[in-house]
Amino acid sequence: MTELKAAARLSLFGILLVAADALTAQEDWLAKDANWNEHKTRLQAFGERFENAWELYTYLQETANGGNALTWEDMPKPAYDWSGVYTRTGGGLSFDPDIRANETTAKLTEAGASARQRKIDLITSTGGEYDPLSDCRPPSFPRWATEPFLHEFVVTPNQTWLMNEMVNDVRRVYTDGRAHTLPEDAYASANGDTIGFWTDGMLVTHTTYLISGQYQRGTQPDYSDRVDVVERWKKVDGNTLEADYWVFDPVNLSEPWYTRQSWTQLANDDDLLRLRYWDCRENQNNDILEKNDGTSQFSDFDFIENDAAVSTDEDVKQAAE
Amino acid sequence: MKRLLRHSLFLASMGVVGAVHAHHSGAMFDDTKVIELTGVVKEFQYTNPHSWLLVDITNSDGSVTTWGFEAEGPSTLMRAGIRKGDLPPGTPITIRGNPMKDGRSGSAWIDAVVNGKTINPRNGFAVIPAAE
C-alpha cells in the first residue's frame, strides 16, 4: 500500500512537472520547423489565455523582469544587427503566411464573419474593389505586415524603426521605458502608438490607438479601431527576421489571431536595391478613381489624348466632366 | 537556371498567377485575355507605386498608337533585373499584357522580349536571400 502511495505521488509529481514545462514552453520562442503546426497551435493557445493584448504584453514583461536595456555596445551583436534590405519571406498577401490569401485562420465573431462575407460578395460580383492605398494612404497596422515590397529595420538602444517602402511608412517602437500616450491625449492613427522592451534578444511590443482597416485586400477579414497587437520580434538567423503576432479585436475576433510573420534580407551585392520615395502623384498614370460599384479604375492616362472619348467606362467619362 | 527555378518555385508558393498590384485591385484589367504587340519604347516611367512602359505601336494604316504597360515600382523591377537604362526610347520590343476592359490602350505588363532576351517584371517578387 505504501509502495502504491509512493508510486501515485511520483506520478502526480511527474504530471505537475510536465504541466509546468508546458506552461513555460508556451511562452518560449518556438521555431518554425518541422513541428510548426504543433508550435503554432501552442502559441495560439497561449494567446487565448489572455483577455486582451495589454494583459498579454504585461505578462510577458513581468516574466522577463521588465526586460533588459540595450546600449550602443550591443548594436553590432547579431541579435540586434537588423541592417540590410528585407522583404516578406512568403505567404503572398495573406496575413497568415501559412495559408492562401482567400482563406483565413482567424476565429471571427458574427460581425467579423459578416464583414468578410460582404467583401467576398463584392469581389464575386465586380471582380475587384477600391483600396485606400490607391491614393497613397498608408496600409495601416496590422495590415502593414503583409505588404510585399522592401523594408529596412533599424535597432537603436531606445527606439527601433520598422520601415516599409510603401508610402514611406515608418513604425517607431519606443524601448526607453516610456508608457503609451495617455488616453486623454490619444487618438487613432494608421500605425498607432507602440512601446516595447528587449528580452533575450527578442523585441516585445504592444501597439494600440489604431484605425480600422483590413488585413489585406481581397477576402481577408477586417479589423476595427479597437484592435491592438502584441508582437515578439527575433532575428532567427543571419538573414531572417521573424515575429509572433497576437492580434486582439473584440469586434471582429472571438479569440486573438496568432500568426508568425517573416522577412528575409535580400541579396544586394551591387547595392542597387534601396527604398525609394513612394508618392502616387509622381506619375499621372497612377491616379486611381473609386468607381460607383466600389471597384477601382485609372482616371486619366497621359499617353491617351482624350480618355473619356476612348473608354467605355461611365465612371471615366464622368470623372472627365 | 537555378535562379530561374527559385523564381518559379517562389511564385508558385506565393500563389502569384496574376500581377500583385501595389496600390489598386486588378479589376480594370481583363486577365482572361492576353495581347502581344511589337513596337518601340517611347518612354519608361520608372516610378512608385507603379512603373509604366510606354510603347509606340504602328498600326496597319500607318498611324501610331501609344500603349501603356503597367508593372510594379522600381525596387521590384530591379529585383527582376529590369533597369530603367535597359529600355531607352527607340528600343525595339515585343510585349505581352492583360488589356484594360474599357478599351483604352493600357495593359498589365506580363513579359516582353528585348534583344532576344525575355524579361518578366513579376520575377521581382522572387526572394533571393543575402548570403549569411
**Residue-level pLDDT at A1:** 43
**Residue-level pLDDT at A241:** 98
Give all strands (DSSP E) within chain A, no chain letters: 86-88, 151-155, 159-164, 169-174, 193-199, 202-208, 213-214, 222-223, 228-237, 240-248, 257-265, 288-290, 296-298
Q: How far is C-alpha B104 from the geometric centre of its chain's CA atoms? A: 17
Distance of alpha carbon B40 from alpha carbon A266, whole angstroms = 33
Residue found by looking up cell 523564381 in the block: B7
Cα angle vertex A239, ends A236, A241, to 5°? 45
What residue spans define the domains of chain B?
28-124
**b or e along B36-47 (b: 16 or more beta carbons within 10 Å of the residue's beta carbon)?**
ebebebbbbbbb
CATH number of B28-124: 2.40.50.140
Nearest to A98 by CA among A44, A162, A166: A44
Is B45 within 8 Å of A285 when comparing Cβ atoms?
A: yes
Choose the closest CB to B49 out of A92, A280, A296. Answer: A280
Q: How far apart are the first and last CA of chain B?
A: 22
pLDDT averaged per 10 residues, chain A (length 321): 49 47 65 96 96 98 96 98 97 94 94 96 90 93 96 98 97 98 98 98 98 94 98 98 98 98 97 96 96 94 97 95 88
CA distance A210 to chain B (A): 21
CA distance A110 to chain B (A): 27
- Give burial (CB, 10 Å; 0-12/13-18/19+) of A75: middle
Q: Which whole number is the average pLDDT over B93-101? A: 98
Record the cell numbers describing residue B46, joined without a space.
520608372
Cβ-based contacts of B128 with chain A (< 8 Å): 266-267
pLDDT bucket at B132, cuts 50 / 70 / 90: confident
Residue found by looking up cell 523591377 in the block: B77
pTM here? 0.89
Q: Please report the ipTM that was assigned to this predicted complex.
A: 0.87
| The residue type at A318 | Q
Beta strands A257-265; A202-208: pairing state: unpaired
The packing angle between helices A36-48 and A2-27, to 10°, is: 90
Residues A36-69: tens digit of each pLDDT? 999 999 999 999 999 999 999 999 999 999 999 9
Distance of alpha carbon A50 from alpha carbon A168, whole angstroms = 34
Distance of alpha carbon B95 from alpha carbon B38, whole angstroms = 6
Flag whether residue B35 sits within 8 Å of chain A, measured between CB atoms: no
